[in-house]
Amino acid sequence: MVGRPPRRLGLDPVEPQIGEIERARCQPVGKRAEFRLADAQALPFPEASFDVVASVLVVNFIPDRPRALSEMRRVTRPRGHIASCVWDFAAELSPSWPLRLGMRRIGADVPQVPGTKDSSRGALASLFEKGGLDEIATTSIDVTVAFADFDEFWRAQTPRYAPTTKIVDGFANSDRARLMEVIRSEVPVFPDGRIEYSARANTIKARAPG
């Protein structure tokens, strides 16, 4: 006898993401999952609501990370799974590292990514340990970031919402051109124009107390 499919929820706290959520609802995944706006620091669910709670590439951006983890623990059933992954901003190994490195090389003041200090494996483990979770395990995943050409790379690295994009927009044309040349010298560019480089995500998983 096949049971009912599990309930799947995807959350985001940011109003501009409504458009992305609406697009997701129209995709095949939208038939298997529900998407809504919610704050990780105040999850709108009763205790022990879920078997698995995961945050993907977001926990370092949450202002009160201990509170968010406490909320994740609260809504997870006893012995349920809690997991997270973040780009390794502490080691400057996020997909945006070539842009950030290039900006520093030309003398720009590059703002630190929020929660950088809490993006290492050790910091994630400490966060989960202080949150009272069990069976904590961490690992790192190295990935290849690939773009068809420099134009595609540039568009991906300069979204309208990014603080670094606002800085780049303020550059003189000569400084912007110099930034592009520095980046081209730092990342592998293939004869066909492809760009590929490495990035790293740190992951952690644990169980809620029984």
The pLDDT mean for the chain works out to: 90
pLDDT digits (tens, 9 = 90+) for 13-69: 776 555 566 666 676 655 677 777 789 999 999 999 999 999 999 999 999 999 999
Torsion angle, alpha carbons of 110, 115, 116, 118, to 10: 170
Nearest to 70 by CA among 210, 208, 162: 208
CATH number at residue 115: 3.40.50.150
Classify residue 9: in a domain, yes or no: no
Torsion angle, alpha carbons of 60, 65, 71, 72, to 10: 40
Cα dist. 27→6, 20, 30, 34, 149 in Å? 18, 11, 5, 12, 27
Residue 3 has pLDDT above 60, yes or no: no
Give me the numbers of helices (H) and strands (E) for the chain, helices first please.
Answer: 7, 6
Q: How many domains does the chain have?
A: 1
Classify residue 4: in a domain, yes or no: no
Cα dist. 149→152, 153, 182 in Å? 5, 6, 16
Classify residue 126: in a domain, yes or no: yes
Q: Tokens for 22, please give them.
A: 């609406």
pLDDT at position 35 is 75
Classify residue 73: in a domain, yes or no: yes
Nearest to 13 by CA among 35, 38, 36: 38
User: How many CB atoms are located within 10 Å of the residue 163 CB?
Assistant: 12
**Strands (DSSP E) found in the chain:** 9-12, 34-37, 50-56, 76-87, 134-147, 195-207
Q: What is the distance between the alpha carbons of residues 187 and 95, in angstroms, rounded to a whole number?
A: 12
Residue 2 has pLDDT above 50, yes or no: no
Classify residue 201: in a domain, yes or no: yes
**Strands (DSSP E) found in 58-187:** 76-87, 134-147
Classify residue 169: in a domain, yes or no: yes
Q: Are 205 and 74 in contact (CB under 8 A)?
A: no
Q: How far apart are the first and last CA of the chain?
A: 28
Classify residue 99: in a domain, yes or no: yes
Range of the domain at 71: 39-207
Classify residue 86: in a domain, yes or no: yes
Residue 157 has pLDDT above 50, yes or no: yes
pLDDT digits (tens, 9 = 90+) for 187-207: 999 999 999 999 999 999 999
